[in-house]
């Protein structure tokens, strides 16, 4: 499902002394099946922006077009829109509430009015996607699981709704390195199997470089840069000037080049670094 945002502006406390422009005349497009990364320092407007994409917030001006529907127009059924757009907030495991893993995942599909057979099928499918085998976890309490497992169960609850757009706000925040990697692999697996549109908000530049096709850079409520990961992250000095970093591999490549090593500074991952270093050593 495609997304088109046009001249979107959102103002908190409008007309008051402490009025704040949280999103300022933002425009961008995401093609059907696209994978977009949104980066920006805390307070740049990222979370406010994504809450407009399923109608949780209404803009002061501008429009959000999901597929063929302008969801900012009057008399639009947001129930239908929210069935198609899954939004996962930061630390979603805090929203787990049911007695068992299976019943927690089933909550969303039940609210869609599906029959028991379809609900069960969706729960099982979602648990496979997040690598939580049904026979092992279905009847367990979600509160007995590790932090990473809870996070996956929360994501499974969104996947079970079968959204056409999946929005993830810092899905790896607070996780240990192993759980962090597991969540990334899970996101890639879900994307491959569903081909839905994915929007990932993250402070981790390595994750964005690895996963996203398009990167949006937010600063003080505006989108100040947008492009491919390569196009965005090769502007390292600019990103650093607004309090952002660049992928570790790109940083390392720049340092190697400054020290006389012939290397492509547009490198995004450590595998490419290793390949170029081996080539360079082999040519000497």
Both 276 and 209 in a single domain?
no
User: How many structural domains are present in the chain?
Assistant: 2
pLDDT, position 113: 85
Q: Are residues 9 and 84 in the same domain?
A: yes
Residue 138 lies in a domain: no
pLDDT band at 57; cut points 50, 70, 90: very high
Would you say residue 124 lies in a domain? no
Tell me, yes or no, whether 103 lies in a domain.
no
Same domain? For 66 and 85 the reply is yes
pLDDT digits (tens, 9 = 90+) for 111-170: 888 999 999 999 999 999 999 999 999 999 999 998 889 999 999 999 999 999 999 999
Q: Report the distance separating Cα 134 and Cα 121, nearest Å.
A: 11
What is the token pair recorded at 80?
């239908």
Buried b (16+ CB within 10 A) or exposed e, 126-164: bbebbebebeebbebebeebeebbbbbbbbbbbbbbbbb
The set of residues, in sequence order, having a beta carbon less than 8 Å from that of 106 and lying 6+ positions away, is 119, 120, 122, 123, 160
Q: In what order do the strands lie in the sheet with 222-227?
A: 85-88, 165-169, 197-201, 35-39, 214-219, 222-227
Is residue 7 included in any domain, yes or no? yes
Please tell me the predicted confidence (pLDDT) of residue 265. 63
pLDDT tens, 23-36?
A: 999 999 999 999 99
Q: What is the mean pLDDT of the chain?
A: 89
The pLDDT value recorded for residue 282 is 55
Domain around 265: 247-284
Please indicate, yes or no, whether residues 45 and 61 belong to a single structural domain of this protein.
Answer: yes
Per-residue pLDDT band for 277 (boundaries 50, 70, 90) equals confident
Asked if residue 269 and residue 215 are part of one domain, the reply reads no
Residue percentage of the chain with pLDDT more than 90: 60
Same domain, 236 and 251: no
- Give domain status of residue 168, yes or no: yes
CB 127 within 8 A of CB 189: no
In terms of domains, do 71 and 178 share one?
Answer: yes
């Amino acid at each position: 499902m495609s997304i088109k945002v046009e001249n979107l502006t959102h103002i908190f406390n409008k007309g008051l002394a402490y009025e704040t422009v949280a999103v300022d005349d933002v425009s961008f497009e995401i093609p059907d099946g696209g994978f977009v990364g949104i980066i920006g320092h805390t307070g740049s407007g990222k979370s406010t922006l994504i809450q407009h994409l399923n109608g949780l917030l209404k803009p002061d001006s501008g429009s959000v077009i999901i597929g063929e529907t302008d969801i900012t127009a009057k008399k639009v059924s947001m129930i239908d829109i929210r069935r198609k757009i899954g939004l996962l907030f930061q630390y979603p495991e805090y929203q787990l509430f049911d007695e068992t893993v299976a019943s927690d995942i089933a909550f969303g599909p039940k609210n869609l009015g599906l029959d028991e057979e379809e609900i069960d099928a969706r729960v099982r499918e979602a648990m496979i996607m997040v690598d939580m085998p049904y026979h092992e976890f279905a009847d367990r309490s979600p509160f007995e699981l590790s932090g990473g497992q809870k996070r996956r169960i929360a994501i499974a609850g969104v996947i079970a709704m079968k959204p056409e757009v999946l929005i993830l706000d810092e899905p790896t925040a607070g996780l240990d390195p192993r759980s962090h990697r597991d969540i990334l692999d899970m996101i890639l697996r879900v994307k491959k199997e569903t081909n839905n549109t994915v929007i990932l908000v993250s402070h981790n530049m390595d994750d964005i470089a690895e996963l996203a096709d398009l990167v949006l850079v937010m600063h003080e409520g505006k989108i100040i840069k947008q492009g491919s990961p390569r196009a965005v992250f090769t502007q390292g000095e600019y990103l650093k000037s607004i309090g952002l970093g660049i992928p570790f591999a790109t940083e390392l490549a720049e340092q190697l080049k400054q020290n006389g090593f012939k290397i492509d500074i547009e490198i995004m991952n450590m595998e490419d670094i290793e390949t170029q270093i081996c080539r360079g050593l082999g040519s000497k």
